[in-house]
């Protein structure tokens, strides 16, 4: 339904224009801002490409963890209150969800860091 | 020249008069004034001036530091930052010698201070990646540890820094961070885990010390292999002695050398060695890692840790504040990714 190019390509093209044509025209003290905008666009493009898939997976893990409808909100509250500290297995399972969440966020927000630390594009566990 | 309602020539004359009066010179002639690169929050102007008599008699290379148009609410004012710089200088921390502060808007239209100009570059990537520095990096990390230990000899009982908000210990800080999280619409379970860890792993009582709060690669000057100055004291405040070390070791400040945990220049060992030998206090790497990452998080742990009371900001301009905060998070996320590359 949408016109082409769509979001990921649009962002890519805009980024190309920014870095290739606008950046050389900027005063040097604004170059860093232009690079930050370009990086922001790259993050947004990865988020657009990734869709909701990993978030749905995390929700599935939370439902499994709680045995009923779970949420990040509930997990956050429970962690704040130390709810799993008397059960090593529950604590380990909660940390596994946190780990997965962190990896998925880094995959969109900072894939270079993952690559540098030995995570491949499709890795779930490192 | 820094902007004010007066013209550049008037401001330059006003500045020359101020410098003469403050230094006891008969007159000051400003030969050159130029905006230095960087400084999104503050402006730094290089000044070459000739002092006719007084305590700075002769040719001087100075820096004038004043607010940029886009300040962040968490930073100190320039006159307060000057007082912090004076305290650090007196404690033997390697900083540019602070010379004069001016709160009178009649001079330049906004507060400013003047310090000596120190040679060197603070650019992160050359510091972490330049092959010529390879052999010297462990010694630089060790020196940074010593500098931090010296900074931490400054305690709240020292006079002259009463304007800094009191620090009520790690529990208070954890509470502030949680309050900050509670104002954010998205739950942050990883941060909650880290805060709980910090809460359940409290060290023996640590007296509050002066923290730089942005002590990292990119905020110190190197001239060749020598550390010549630690810069940008605008976020300084009383805090936990482990804060600055944790911040320096965050992955966000490694500028392409993610494998080197101490600011992208070395592993932690030389940094810890320098700190421990100067301070006599043993460090706990696990605590640094948790504290550092809490502050580094894109949600703005750094901001949360340094932010002035929210009520003041909210009363002022609620919409503008939220927008600024969102923009700050955008910049932080992008900068975090960019520094890794």
What is the DSSP track for B212-262? Answer: -S--STTSEEEETTEEEEE---TT-EEE-TTHHHHHHTSGGGSTT-TT-TB
* B15 part of a folded domain: yes
**Contacts (Cβ under 8 Å, ≥6 apart) of A55:** A104
**pLDDT(B229) > 50:** yes
- Is B307's pLDDT higher than 80? no
ipTM exceeding 0.90? no
Contacts of A117 in chain B (CB under 8 A): 258
Q: Do A76 and B298 touch (CB under 8 A)?
A: no
The rounded distance, in Å, linking the Cα atoms of A114 and B168 is 37
Looking only at the bridges linking them, the beta strands covering B112-116 and B98-102 are antiparallel
Nearest CA distance, B326 vs chain A (angstrom): 13
Domain identity same for B216 and B256: yes
**Residue B48, number of CB atoms within 10 A of its CB:** 15
Report the residue of chain B nearest A36, measured CA to CA: B334
Q: What is the mean pLDDT of residues B280-305?
A: 71
Q: Is residue B3 part of a domain?
A: no
- Residues facing B230 on adjacent strands: B220
Are A36 and A91 members of one domain? no
Q: Is A64 a domain residue?
A: yes
Residues 6 or more apart whose Cβ sits within 8 Å of residue A24: none
Which range of residues forms the domain containing residue A71? 53-116
- Residue A29 domain flag: yes
Using a CB–CB cutoff of 8 Å, tell me whether B188 touches chain A. Answer: yes
Strand partners, B239: B209
Q: pLDDT confidence of B206, banded at 50, 70, 90?
A: confident
Query: What CATH number did the domain enclosing B75 receive?
Result: 3.30.200.20
Same domain for B302 and B272: yes
The better pLDDT of the pair B88, B293 is held by: B88
Min Cα separation B178/chain A (Å) = 9
Domain stop point among B116, B133, B151: B116
Q: Is the CB of B192 less than 8 angstroms away from the CB of A29?
A: no
Q: What is the pLDDT at residue B23?
A: 97
CA distance B156 to chain A (A): 31
Shared domain check, B244 and B154: yes
| % of chain B at pLDDT higher than 70 | 84
pLDDT in tens, B138-158: 999 999 999 999 999 999 988
Chain A: give the shortest CA distance to residue B179, in Å: 12
pLDDT at B302: 42
Same domain, B235 and B272: yes
Instruction: Decide if A98 and B189 are in contact by the 8 Å CB cutoff.
Output: yes
My answer on whether B128 and B110 are in the same domain is no
Please give the angle made by the CA atoms of B240, B246 and B250, to the nearest 5 degrees. Answer: 150
What pLDDT score was predicted for residue A79?
Answer: 97
Q: Which of A26, A34, A36, A94 to mutate to test the interface with B (most CBs of B within 10 A)?
A: A36
Structural domain contains residue B165:
yes
Same domain, A43 and A21: yes
What's the structural domain count of chain A?
A: 2
Q: Is residue B2 part of a domain?
A: no
pLDDT digits (tens, 9 = 90+) for B55-110: 999 999 999 999 886 655 557 899 999 999 999 999 999 999 999 999 999 999 99
Confidence of residue B176 (pLDDT cuts 50, 70, 90): confident
Q: What is the pLDDT of residue B199?
A: 93
Chain B closest-CA separation from residue A101 CA (Å) = 8
The predicted structure's pLDDT at residue B258: 86
Give the residue with greater pLDDT, B314 vs B22. Answer: B22
Given this model, what pLDDT does residue A118 score? Answer: 79
The verdict on A60 and A41 lying in the same domain is: no
In a domain, B182, yes or no: yes
Instruction: Please tell me whether residues A36 and A61 are part of one structural domain.
Output: no
Residue range(s) defining the domain that contains residue B216: 124-340
Render pLDDT for B247-275 as a digit per residue (tens, 0 to 9). Answer: 999 888 898 898 899 999 999 999 999 99
Q: Could you say which residues of chain A have pLDDT below 70?
A: 1, 120-126
B266: β partners: B262
Same domain? For A108 and A58 the reply is yes
Token reading at B123: 């650019």
Say yes or no: B190 contacts chain A, CB-CB below 8 A: yes
A60 and A107: one domain? yes
Residues A30 and A81 occupy one common structural domain: no
CB interface of B with A, residues 75-114, below 8 Å: none
Residues B166 and B57 in one domain: no
B84 and B176 in a common domain: no
Across A113-122, B255-264, B293-302, B332-341, the highest mean pLDDT is recorded for: B255-264
Q: What percent of chain B has pLDDT over 90?
A: 61
Q: Number of structural domains, chain B?
A: 2
Structural domain ending residue among the three candidates B116, B145, B162:
B116
Partners of B223 in beta bridges: B226
Of B66, B98, B116, which closes a domain? B116
| Cβ-based contacts under 8 A for chains A and B | 75
Nearest to B189 among A79, A110, A113 (CB): A79
**In terms of Cα–Cα distance, which of B270, B280, B189, B269 is closest to B241?**
B280
A125 domain-assigned:
no
């Amino acid at each position: 339904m949408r016109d082409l190019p769509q979001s990921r390509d649009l962002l890519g093209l805009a980024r190309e224009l920014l870095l290739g044509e606008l950046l050389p025209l900027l005063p040097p003290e604004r170059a860093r801002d232009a690079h930050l905008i370009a990086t922001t666009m790259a993050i947004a493009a990865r988020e657009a490409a990734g869709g909701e898939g990993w978030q749905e997976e995390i929700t599935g893990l939370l439902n499994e963890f709680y045995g009923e409808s779970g949420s990040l909100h509930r997990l956050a509250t429970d962690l704040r209150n130390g709810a799993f500290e008397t059960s090593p297995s529950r604590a380990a399972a909660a940390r596994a969800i946190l780990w997965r969440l962190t990896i998925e966020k880094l995959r969109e927000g900072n894939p270079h860091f993952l690559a540098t630390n030995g995570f491949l594009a499709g890795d779930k566990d490192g | 020249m820094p902007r004010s309602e007066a013209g550049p020539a008037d401001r330059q004359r006003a500045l020359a008069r101020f410098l003469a009066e403050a230094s006891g010179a008969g007159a000051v002639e400003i030969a050159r004034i130029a905006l230095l690169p960087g400084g999104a929050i503050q402006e730094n102007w290089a000044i070459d001036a000739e002092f006719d008599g007084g305590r700075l008699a002769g040719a001087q290379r100075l820096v004038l530091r004043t607010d940029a148009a886009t300040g962040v609410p968490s930073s100190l004012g320039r006159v307060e930052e000057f007082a912090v710089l004076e305290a650090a200088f007196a404690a033997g921390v390697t900083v540019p010698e602070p010379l004069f502060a001016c709160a009178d808007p009649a001079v330049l239209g906004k507060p400013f201070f003047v310090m000596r100009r120190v040679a060197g570059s603070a650019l992160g990537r050359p510091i972490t990646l330049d092959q010529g520095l390879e052999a010297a990096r462990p010694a630089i990390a060790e020196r940074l540890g010593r500098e931090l230990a010296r900074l931490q000899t400054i305690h709240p009982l020292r006079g002259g820094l009463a304007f800094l908000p009191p620090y009520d210990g790690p529990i208070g800080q954890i509470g502030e961070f949680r309050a900050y999280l509670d104002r954010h619409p998205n739950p942050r379970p990883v941060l909650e885990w880290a805060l709980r860890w910090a809460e359940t792993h409290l060290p023996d009582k640590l007296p509050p010390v002066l923290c730089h709060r942005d002590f990292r690669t990119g905020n110190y000057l190197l001239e060749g292999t020598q550390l010549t100055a630690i810069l940008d004291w605008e976020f300084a405040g009383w805090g936990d002695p482990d804060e600055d070390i944790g911040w320096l070791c965050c992955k966000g400040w490694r500028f392409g050398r993610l494998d080197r945990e101490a600011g992208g220049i070395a592993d932690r060992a030389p940094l810890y060695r320098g700190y421990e030998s100067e301070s006599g206090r043993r460090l706990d790497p696990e605590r640094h890692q948790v504290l550092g990452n809490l502050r580094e998080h894109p949600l703005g742990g750094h901001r949360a840790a340094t932010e002035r009371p929210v009520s003041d900001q909210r009363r002022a301009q609620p919409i503008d504040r939220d927008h600024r905060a969102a923009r700050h998070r955008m910049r932080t996320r992008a900068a975090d990714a960019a520094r890794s590359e």
